Amino acid sequence: PKYLPREDGTPGQSNGVACAAIEHKMGLKASATCQMNFDDSIGWIVGEPGKGMAAMFTMMNTERVSVGIQGLGVGEAAYQAAAWYAKDRIQGRALSGPKYPDQAADPIIVHPDVRRMLMTMRAYNEGCRALSAWVSRALDAEKHSPEPEVRQRASDFIALMTPVVKALFTDLAFDSANLAVQCYGGHGYIRESGVEQYARDARITMIYEGTNGVQALDLVGRKLGAHMGRYLRSFFHPVSAFIEENNVDGPMKPMIEALGKAFGALQLSTATVAQRALKDPEEAGAASADYLRLMGLVAMGYCFAKATKIAGLQLFFGSEDKRFYDAKIKTATFFFERILPQATASFLAIKAGKKSLMALEDDVF
């Protein structure tokens, strides 16, 4: 407390608590951050001694999912701003010829590189949103399901996916915010546009409630081997079953094959990390960030594949939301063709191990 309480509970003398300075931050300026001084201050233990870490992580795990959702929110806002600007800003003509001949120039959304940025942002957001819904359903099941087995399975899945949601969503949010600035060009670098704030504000989500590097270490160091791999089964089993059930000839076959390859890379990476970590914990640390990204890409791919299957059925039965479901399939196709291939790069980086990462002497940096 700022003032020591008297016996009757009213504020008494100063407890030596003072704000020394307000920090000047890159972003998140609506929330003040300050330096606090505690000079000969008296504090009280809240709860049982020695139980503080457990209490903190009860809060921290929930907050990590919440921060991931913050990232998704920033990424969506950045995408909407960029999409609006790309349709409004006219400059040049489409490479294949004028698309809007009645205007002085075509809107920049006709240009392939602008569409690459917009589609990347859109795919990130839709993939993260679908994955967040999957995790959110598990959060509900963990708390409210009447079946103990369902509650346990949901708890395992949440434990595994919490670091993925926190780190993946916020990494991609910053990427989306950065792409929004790029879509705006020089105008995006000016504060008046508003999109530069997304980049500044999104950056903190990669840091607080446990940096994304810590999330990756938590995933590889604590979650993979927990209970003899039980957490992993909550994710691997449904993905494996979906691939097996849907690996048939049809319009979805290329997606299922791509998902199967990425999932295979994740399985191999899991075995590699587990084997190497037993001999050298630095190997697990060296692989952690790439492993988390690989798991996140597979999880998003699984969600996109399920969404595509549902969208295809809705279109087949003549849904009135034809444009919505058609856009869902096209976004999923972009994800599988242009984003999921990053899984191969992550796998190769994991396979390379720690040698080149740890080779340079400290004093050479």
| Catalytic pick among 76, 126, 142, 209 | 209
Each domain of the chain, given as residue ranges in start order, spans 3-38, 67-215, 235-353
Contact by Cβ (8 Å): 190, 239 = no
Residue carrying structure tokens 């926190």:
166
Above pLDDT 70, what percent of the chain? 100
Distance CA 172, CA 206 (A): 10
| pLDDT < 50 regions, the chain | none
Q: Minimal CA–CA distance to 157: which of 138, 130, 137?
A: 138
Contact by Cβ (8 Å): 106, 98 = yes
Across the chain, mean pLDDT equals 95
Q: How far is CA 187 from the centre of its chain?
A: 27
Distance CA 30, CA 41 (A): 29
298 CB-near residues (< 8 Å, 6+ apart): 239, 259, 262, 263, 266, 343
Residue 57: the pLDDT is 73
CATH H-level, domain 67-215: superfamily = Butyryl-CoA Dehydrogenase, subunit A, domain 3 (1.20.140.10)
Residue 62: the pLDDT is 82
Above pLDDT 90, what percent of the chain? 93
Give the type of residue at 258: A
Residue 331: the pLDDT is 98
pTM assigned to the model: 0.93
Residue 59: the pLDDT is 74
Q: In angstroms, how far apart are the furthest CA atoms of the chain?
A: 82
181 CB-near residues (< 8 Å, 6+ apart): 188, 189, 195, 196, 198, 199
Residue 60: the pLDDT is 75
Contact by Cβ (8 Å): 78, 205 = no
User: Which phi and psi angles does 288 have, rounded to 5°?
Assistant: -60, -50
Residue 58: the pLDDT is 73
209: annotated active-site residue? yes
Contact by Cβ (8 Å): 256, 243 = yes
Residue 360, Ramachandran bin (φ over 0: left; ψ between -120 and 50: alpha; else beta):
beta
Give the type of residue at 167: A
pLDDT in tens, 28-47: 999 999 999 999 999 999 89
Distance CA 34, CA 331 (A): 43
